[in-house]
Amino acid sequence: MRILACIKRVPITGGRIVLTDDARAIDTRHLGFTMSPHEECGVEEAVRIIETNGGDSVVLTLGPSEAVEQLRDAMALGIDRAIHLLTDDQEWDGEATAAALTEAIQSDEATSGRFDLIFFGNESADSAGFQVGARVARALGRYCATGLKGVSVEGSSVRCEQEVEGGRDVYVLPLPAVLTVKEGLNLPRYPSVPGRMRARSKPVAVSTPLRPEPQLELVRLIVPAGQGRQAEVLGSGAAAAPAVVEVLRKAGVL
């Protein structure tokens, strides 16, 4: 099988989000970065399916030069090679991102063969547009299931499970298919030291797509006012237990 996992580099925001002076981005000078959580599960799923069925796997991202770190992370987990669509610091909207990814996928498939499965996160942790996977699927003319917490390849089809109220809805799609997944699909492994070593020498193909004018244009970001909670310190250590019980009693839960 051939499997592609699409990922996005996002900051680890910690306790409080601070914006740049022009309020058009998060001030990331003091922040670490990671792969968006849902997508990490897409990478893990891709690696597991290839481990079971054999084949090869590719990771694809659109992002700044530093996003190569997240591509290496994915390869450390077992992905074979990477494609990096290099951008400057400007944001790309969902439509532009999907168009660039589609072109990269078509070009890779022209030389290496069709991907049986393409994984996306259901939505990115940061901009949360909920749309890139569906747009790429449509552009490639492939069926798509979204928001999945269960994926199993069964011959030439894939069984997909979506968590809904009261249980799970099941979809069965023919391959090739595009799947958007959510955290909880699996528990991503930690990269091993040999995995990290191998990832360093795995190939990364870089190209620089042109950014079209955004259709969804970011004007500015706003940090919402807090909920205005004012913490009352009940005490410290075990001695605070009676005060805690009093609070629970007043809240009507004891």
Partner 1 sequence: MVLVLVEHSEANPTDPSLQALTLARSFGQPVHALLVGAAADLSEHGVSVTHVAEHVALGSFAPDAWAAILGEVAGRLSASAVIAAGTERGNEVIARLAARTGLPFAANCIAVSPGPPVTVTRLRWGGSLLEEARLHGSHALITVAPHVVPVEPSPMPADIERFTPDLSDEDLLVRVVEHVAALGGGVSLTEAKVVVSGGRGVGSKEGFAMIEELAGLLGAAVGCSRAVTSAGWRPHTDQVGQTGTKVAPEVYIACGISGATQHMAGLKGAKRILAINTDPEAPMMLNADYAVVGDLKEIVPAISAEIRKSR
Write out the binding residues for partner 1, residues 77-106 only, by CB under 8 A: 93-95, 98
Q: Which is nearer to partner 1, 206 or 244 (CB)?
A: 244
Residues binding partner 1: number (CB under 8 A): 86
Residues 5-34 that bind partner 1 (CB under 8 A): 12-17, 26
Q: What x-and-dash track marks residues 56-75 binding partner 1 by CB under 8 A?
A: --------------------
Tell me which of 167, 193, 194, 210 binds partner 1, using CB under 8 A.
167
Report the distance separating Cα 4 and Cα 25, nearest Å: 29
Provide long-range contacts, Cβ within 8 A and 24+ apart, for 189-197.
189/44, 189/47, 189/77, 191/73, 191/76, 191/77, 192/76, 195/76, 195/77, 195/78, 196/72, 196/76
Q: Are strands 167-174 and 157-164 parallel, antiparallel or unpaired?
A: antiparallel
Q: Considering Cα of 209, then 212, then 216, then 222, what sign does the dihedral take?
A: positive
Q: What are the tokens at 33? A: 């970065």
Contact 79, 47 (CB under 8 A): yes
Measured from the CB of residue 89, what is the shortest distance to partner 1 in angstroms? 16
Q: Which is nearer to partner 1, 111 or 215 (CB)?
A: 215
Measured from the CB of residue 128, what is the shortest distance to partner 1 in angstroms? 6
Measured from the CB of residue 51, what is the shortest distance to partner 1 in angstroms? 19
Measured from the CB of residue 160, what is the shortest distance to partner 1 in angstroms? 9
Measured from the CB of residue 33, what is the shortest distance to partner 1 in angstroms? 14
Query: Segment near partner 1 (CB under 8 A), from 43-51, 63-71, 104-112, 140-148?
Result: 140-148
Tell me which of 168, 192, 206, 207 binds partner 1, using CB under 8 A.
168
Report the distance separating Cα 77 and Cα 89, nearest Å: 27
**Does an H or E element contain 102, and which?**
helix 94-112
Query: Which of 248, 228, 131, 231 shows the shortest CA–CA distance to 178?
Result: 131
Q: Interface with partner 1 includes 145 (CB under 8 A)?
A: yes
Measured from the CB of residue 222, what is the shortest distance to partner 1 in angstroms? 4
Tell me which of 111, 156, 201, 227 binds partner 1, using CB under 8 A.
227
Contact 172, 157 (CB under 8 A): yes
Query: Which of 32, 42, 31, 35 shows the shortest CA–CA distance to 151?
Result: 42
Q: Which is nearer to partner 1, 201 or 236 (CB)?
A: 236
Q: What x-and-dash track marks residues 117-136 binding partner 1 by CB under 8 A?
A: ------x-xxxxxxx-xxx-
Under DSSP, the state recorded for 191 is P
Residues 170-209 that bind partner 1 (CB under 8 A): 170-174, 182-184, 187-188
**Does an H or E element contain 32, and which?**
none
